Amino acid sequence: EKFKRLKNEGNDFVKMGEYEEAANKYSECMKLNTEECTVYTNRALCYLKLCKYEEAKRDCDHVLQIEDSNIKAFYRRALAYKGLQVRKKNMPG
């Protein structure tokens, strides 16, 4: 099935540290199935690695709307908030 293949390709990219590529694969997965939470938490991980904290937070929020006890989503959203706070602190102005 295409979805599974894309997800596995995404996972392989993550293992290689190719987070940009992995995020793209997970995004393609979402077009096929918006209910699959793991794809969102996986993409959130990629976004965290890429310092895209807003995007990571959004993916986690999405998961928590579907599955309000998803531990990975909670954890990664916390990391996203932390990243956003650090960034705010370090901004000039």
The whole-chain average pLDDT of the chain stands at 96
pLDDT of 61 over the 90 cut: yes
- Contacts by residues 81-88 (CB-CB < 8 Å, ≥ 24 positions apart): 81/53, 81/57, 83/48, 83/51, 83/53, 83/56, 84/53, 84/54, 84/57, 87/51, 87/53
pLDDT digits (tens, 9 = 90+) for 14-59: 999 999 999 999 999 999 998 899 999 999 999 999 999 999 999 9
CATH superfamily of 1-90: Tetratricopeptide repeat domain (1.25.40.10)
Range 61-83 average pLDDT: 97
Per-domain residue ranges of the chain: 1-90
Q: What is the pTM of this model?
A: 0.93
